[in-house]
Amino acid sequence: MTQSHTITVEPLGREVECREDQSILDACLRSGVWLPHSCTHGTCATCKADVLEGEVDHGAASSFALMDYERDEGKLLPCTARPRSDVVIEADIDVDDSVEVFPVQDYTATVVELTEIARETVRLVVELDREIGFNAGQYLKFQVPAADGLPAVDRTWSIASPPTEARRLEFHVRRVPGGRGTDGWVFGGLAVGDTVAVSGPYGRFVLRTGDDRHAVLVGGGTGLAPLKSMLRHALENGEYEGHLTLYQGARTREWLYDVDYFRSLAARFPSQFTYRPCLSEESAADCGDEAGRYGFGMVTDVIAADHESLSGCSGYLCGPPPMVEAALKTLMGKRLFPRDIHREEFFNESDKESGAVRSPLIKR
């Protein structure tokens, strides 16, 4: 049997048992001890913490997210570190009372829908074996089965449905050429009726419910997924007091999806929701009679043109790391405080290798 060790998490003083083949973050989240995290695979550095006592194996921590000198100084990434003795860590735990902590659990999910909704993009709907608790904006890990001699791997996709739909969960998945989870699995043979192993919920990119500020939500590609969960929760379940504006960025109309859904949501909640789909590679002339329904240019250009100032607002940004970085700069340029900007970057395996790390614009 694999040996276990005790992890003490300071400043909480909480103790959890962790196997030698388990990450410290996984053990904590499964025990209901919340630690900051985002990518959960050693890329983003969000979870970085201090080892006060004990030995760890740093595992697959990217050398960009955890530099050699930081390892020497006694830092670790709990999402990849595995204990080799009893360990005491100190984490920067910023408790937000508006965000509930749901312990991570394993579930069996059955695929009930797999539909193409835009270019290279599918809507994947699964039914879990039992209800799950999560905050709008969080994600699940899917176990991509072993294939062609390669071991099983985890891939993370954000939940696009609201927490009130606790068994039937929606996801939006974009094909990445050569990707194990998308090209090789979701687009490469996964079918309605298949069962898959998932775990969750993970992530700290969550809607701050009850807020009354104007929230600007910016999604690029399938970065729309967690924002859709947030918007449905905010509007359909009455969980948000302020106005919400969604900027959905895509190259052309064939990459956009759920446009009619968001238009109908805007019609249902005219005083609380504004929808702005933006096209970066099509012009008003390309769209003819429909031109008035879109913003043209990069999503950041449309935001900049729409607002003199965003002082006093909050921001939720999600999608490819370069888009999130650009949107972050735009919102900060419009006088939005970094502490009020929440973001999720869709890192993949190639980002891990190339060392894409979190924005230098925001101090950790």
Ligand X SMILES: Cc1cc2nc3c(=O)[nH]c(=O)nc-3n(C[C@H](O)[C@H](O)[C@H](O)COP(=O)(O)OP(=O)(O)OC[C@H]3O[C@@H](n4cnc5c(N)ncnc54)[C@H](O)[C@@H]3O)c2cc1C
Residues in contact with ligand X by the rule CB under 6 A: 38-39, 139, 155-158, 171-174, 176-183, 203, 222, 225, 344, 346-350, 353
Residue 40 interacting with ligand FES (CB under 6 A): yes
Residue 81 interacting with ligand FES (CB under 6 A): no
Residue 77 interacting with ligand FES (CB under 6 A): yes
Q: Which is nearer to ligand X, 51 or 218 (CB)?
A: 218
Which of ligand X, ligand FES, none sits in contact with 37, Cβ below 5 to 8 A by type?
A: ligand FES
Closest CB 76 distance from ligand X, rounded Å: 19
Rg (CA), the chain: 21
Q: What is the DSSP letter of 362?
A: S
Q: How far apart are CA 96 and CA 79, in angstroms?
A: 21
Q: How far apart are CA 328 and CA 316, in angstroms?
A: 9
User: Smallest Cα–Cα separation from 35: which of 7, 64, 2?
Assistant: 7
Candidate residues 7, 26, 34, 37; the one interacting with ligand FES per rule CB under 6 A: 37
Q: Which is nearer to ligand FES, 96 or 194 (CB)?
A: 96
Which of ligand FES, ligand X, none sits in contact with 330, Cβ below 5 to 8 A by type?
A: none
User: What's the 3-state SS for 17-82?
Assistant: EEECCCCHHHHHHHCCCCCCCCCCCCCCCCCCEEEEECCEECCCCCCCCCCHHHHHCCEECCCCCE
Closest CB 281 distance from ligand FES, rounded Å: 31
Closest CB 163 distance from ligand X, rounded Å: 16
Half-sphere exposure of 42 (CA within 13 A, CB side): 22
Candidate residues 24, 26, 43, 199; the one interacting with ligand FES per rule CB under 6 A: 43
Q: Which is nearer to ligand FES, 92 or 113 (CB)?
A: 92
Q: How far apart are CA 198 and CA 196, in angstroms?
A: 6
Which of ligand X, ligand FES, none sits in contact with 179, Cβ below 5 to 8 A by type?
A: ligand X
Which of ligand FES, ligand X, none sits in contact with 162, Cβ below 5 to 8 A by type?
A: none
Q: What tokens appear for 175 in the block?
A: 């094909």
Q: Residue 213 in 3-state DSSP?
A: coil
Candidate residues 79, 87, 227, 328; the one interacting with ligand FES per rule CB under 6 A: 79
Q: Which is nearer to ligand FES, 44 or 56 (CB)?
A: 44
Residue 307 interacting with ligand FES (CB under 6 A): no
Closest CB 168 distance from ligand FES, rounded Å: 28
Is residue 318 within 8 Å of residue 346, measured between CB atoms?
Answer: yes
Which of ligand X, ligand FES, none sits in contact with 355, Cβ below 5 to 8 A by type?
A: none
Q: CA separation (Å) from 77 to 17, 65, 81, 85?
A: 17, 8, 6, 16
270: Cβ contacts below 8 Å, ≥ 6 apart: none
Which of ligand X, ligand FES, none sits in contact with 340, Cβ below 5 to 8 A by type?
A: none
Residue 42 interacting with ligand FES (CB under 6 A): yes
User: What's the 3-state SS for 306-342?
Assistant: HCCCCCCCEEEEEECHHHHHHHHHHHHHCCCCHHHEE
Residue 265 interacting with ligand FES (CB under 6 A): no
Which of ligand FES, ligand X, none sits in contact with 249, Cβ below 5 to 8 A by type?
A: none
* Strand order across the 75-76 sheet: 14-19, 4-10, 87-90, 49-53, 75-76
Q: Is the peptide bond before 201 cis (omega within 30 degrees of 0)?
A: yes
Closest CB 87 distance from ligand X, rounded Å: 25
Residue 88: strand pairing partners: 8, 53
Q: Is the peptide bond before 177 cis (omega within 30 degrees of 0)?
A: no
Closest CB 44 distance from ligand FES, rounded Å: 4
Closest CB 155 distance from ligand X, rounded Å: 5
Q: List residues near ligand FES by CB under 6 A.
A: 37-40, 42-47, 65, 77, 79
